[in-house]
Structures are given as structure tokens and as C-alpha cells.
């Protein structure tokens, strides 16, 4: 009987790294305590609620993300198709745009994370539940109509940031056909040389990646590149949208 190979253990954090982790985690907790009362006050008054965007943008800032914007956001309501490299993608993109997200329902199994996601109007979908596809599509279409922006990661999981994984066109079912007045816009989250250090790939546990990122000394440079919204034949169906968005993002990631 062949023994299973040992699972690689995460590298131990240095003392300065541990201090940075504790300081940043404490700052995130303080940010949550500040934003939650504001969120519920605005909700009670039925005002347009800016607190989720402020909170998530603050999380990215505390984590050391320095965000630059390139290109122009689509005017009006938009459905963003973004690449996925790290857990930082969500707070950074939400902070830059105020978008809500489509996420797999595994996140809903974690009470604290589910609560935070719901405050940002996250739409949970069960990828393996084919019986409820029509219902999930309707949920996403309703969310698009009720929010200014909704984002999905068509890769379905994280990559190392050096390229793109195949896009799962099934995640774009709610856009087939595209609802009236909705722009479908590819967004490239470009971490440059920092991608390889912050990407959550392989067998690394999510908590280990979280600790490692927060313990980092250098800032994380991210350029959110808004690419031209899809148009014409690219909007024919979910497969053409997935192919056109991926091609545009690859060209932006590796310009000739």
C-alpha cells in the first residue's frame, strides 16, 4: 500500500508578519463595528445604503490594496464579468463600483460570512443543483433589475492571475437574453507581479491565505481595468458573451 504524500504545511509567519496580521484584523473588526450601525440606520430610514461599499472598500484598504482605475465604467446598470484571483477581489471591486455579487451557496454555510454577504445583496446559487436552475436564473435577473451593478466570476474559481481559466457560460444564464437597459462589461482585476504572491490556488487553506495576505509588508497593487461593454454579436447568447469577455480580458492581460 502506497502512503499518501504529506500535505504541505503553511509557512510560519514571522513576528513582524504576525503583528501586521493582528493589527489589520483588529482594524477590520473596528471597521465592522462602525459600519453595521450605519447600515441598519440607513435601512430603517429606507435610504440608499452606501455602507456595504464603504465597508468592503475599507477592508481592501486595510488589507494593503492600492487600487487604481483604468477605463470607463458603463453608465447605468451593469453586469460585470470579472476574473478571479483572490478573496481580495470582492472587497476591491465592491469598493470601486458598489457592485453586489453572484456567489456559490457554499459561502452561505458560514453564518458570519452569509450575514456580511446578504448585507451587500449577494445572490447565492447552487452550481450543482440543475433542478433549480430556472429559479436561480430568475433570482439573478431580479437582482440585476434591483441593483445598479451585479458581478460574477465566470471562471468559477480562482486562478494564479497570470492567465484566465475557461469561463463557465452556465454562470451567465441570467443574461440570456440580456435584460433591457443592462450593460455587460468585462472587468480585468490586474494585480501585476503581486498576483503570484496573493493568489489563492492549489491546496492552500483559505484561512492560511487570509493570514498570509494580511501579514504582507508590501502594498498590493491592483488595477481595475474596465473594458468596453460587449455589443453586437457578442451578446447573442451566454456562450458568445463568455467567449467575447474572456478574449477581451486576455488581450488586456497580455497586450501584444
User: Which pLDDT band, with edges at 50, 70 and 90, does 44 fall under?
Assistant: very high
Q: Do the domain assignments include residue 6? A: no
In a domain, 54, yes or no: yes
Q: Does 7 reside within a domain? A: no
| Residue 151 near residue 100 (C-beta atoms within 8 A) | yes
Is 186 a member of any domain? yes
Which residue bears the cell 471591486? 93
> Distance between CA 87 and CA 94 in Å, rounded?
12
The pLDDT tens digits for 91-150 are 999 999 999 898 877 777 778 888 988 898 888 876 655 545 566 667 777 777 767 889
- At residue 129, the pLDDT reads 54
pLDDT above 90 (res 232) = yes
Q: Which domain holds residue 54?
A: 15-253
Q: Would you say residue 77 has pLDDT above 60?
A: yes
Domain count within the chain: 1
pTM above 0.75, yes or no: yes
The CATH code of the domain that includes 103 is 3.40.1130
Closest CA to 52 of 149, 141, 145: 149
10, part of any domain: no
pLDDT score recorded for residue 221: 96
Q: What is the pLDDT of residue 85?
A: 95
Encode pLDDT of 180-194 as tens digits.
888 999 999 999 999
Angstrom distance (rounded) from CA 88 to CA 86: 5
- pLDDT tens, position by position, 22-38: 999 999 999 999 999 99
Residue 3: pLDDT over 50? no
Per-residue pLDDT band at 1 (split at 50, 70, 90): very low
Arithmetic mean of pLDDT, 169-198: 90
Per the model's pLDDT, the better-predicted residue between 168 and 128 turns out to be 168
In the sheet that holds 149-152, the strands lie side by side as: 65-71, 220-226, 183-190, 78-82, 149-152, 100-104, 123-125
Q: Which of 240, 151, 163 is nearest to 195 (CA)?
A: 163
Is residue 1 domain-resident?
no
Q: What is the mean pLDDT of residues 172-183?
A: 86
C-alpha cell, 72: 470607463
pLDDT value at residue 202: 81
> Which candidate, 189, 190, 171, 157, places its Cα nearest to that of 79?
171
Q: Burial, 230: exposed, middle or buried (Cβ in 10 Å; 0-12, 13-18, 19+)?
A: buried
5 in a structural domain: no
Position 96 scores a pLDDT of 95
Please confirm whether the linkage preceding 177 is cis (ω < 30° from 0): yes
Spell out the residues 6+ positions from residue 88 whose beta carbon is closer than 8 angstroms to its own: 60, 63, 65, 198, 213, 220, 222
Give the β-pairing of 183-190 and 149-152: unpaired
Tens digits of per-residue pLDDT, 158-167?
999 889 999 9
The pLDDT assigned to 12 comes to 82
Q: Regarding predicted confidence, which is higher, 136 or 205? A: 205
For residue 94, being part of any structural domain is answered with yes
Amino acid at each position: 500500500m502506497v502512503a499518501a504524500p504529506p500535505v504541505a504545511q503553511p509557512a510560519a509567519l514571522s513576528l513582524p508578519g504576525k503583528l501586521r496580521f493582528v493589527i489589520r484584523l483588529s482594524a477590520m473588526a473596528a471597521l465592522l463595528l462602525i459600519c453595521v450601525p450605519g447600515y441598519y440606520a440607513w435601512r430603517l430610514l429606507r435610504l440608499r445604503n452606501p455602507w456595504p461599499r464603504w465597508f468592503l472598500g475599507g477592508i481592501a484598504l486595510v488589507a494593503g490594496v492600492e487600487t487604481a482605475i483604468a477605463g470607463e465604467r458603463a453608465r447605468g446598470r451593469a453586469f460585470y464579468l470579472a476574473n478571479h484571483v483572490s478573496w481580495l477581489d470582492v472587497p476591491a471591486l465592491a469598493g470601486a463600483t458598489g457592485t453586489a455579487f453572484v456567489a456559490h451557496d457554499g459561502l452561505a454555510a458560514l453564518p458570519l460570512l452569509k450575514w456580511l454577504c446578504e448585507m451587500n445583496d449577494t445572490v447565492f446559487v447552487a452550481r450543482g443543483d440543475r433542478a433549480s436552475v430556472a429559479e436561480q436564473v430568475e433570482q439573478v435577473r431580479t437582482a440585476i433589475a434591483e441593483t445598479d451593478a451585479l458581478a460574477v466570476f465566470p471562471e468559477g474559481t480562482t486562478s494564479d492571475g497570470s492567465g484566465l481559466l475557461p469561463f463557465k457560460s452556465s454562470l451567465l444564464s441570467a443574461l440570456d437574453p440580456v435584460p433591457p437597459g443592462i450593460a455587460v462589461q468585462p472587468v480585468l482585476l490586474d494585480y501585476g507581479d503581486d498576483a503570484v504572491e496573493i493568489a489563492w490556488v492549489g491546496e492552500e487553506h483559505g484561512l492560511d491565505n487570509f493570514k498570509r495576505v494580511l501579514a504582507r509588508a508590501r502594498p498590493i497593487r491592483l488595477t481595475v481595468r474596465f473594458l468596453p461593454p460587449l455589443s453586437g454579436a457578442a451578446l447573442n447568447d451566454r456562450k458568445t458573451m463568455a467567449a467575447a469577455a474572456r478574449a477581451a480580458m486576455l488581450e488586456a492581460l497580455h497586450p501584444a
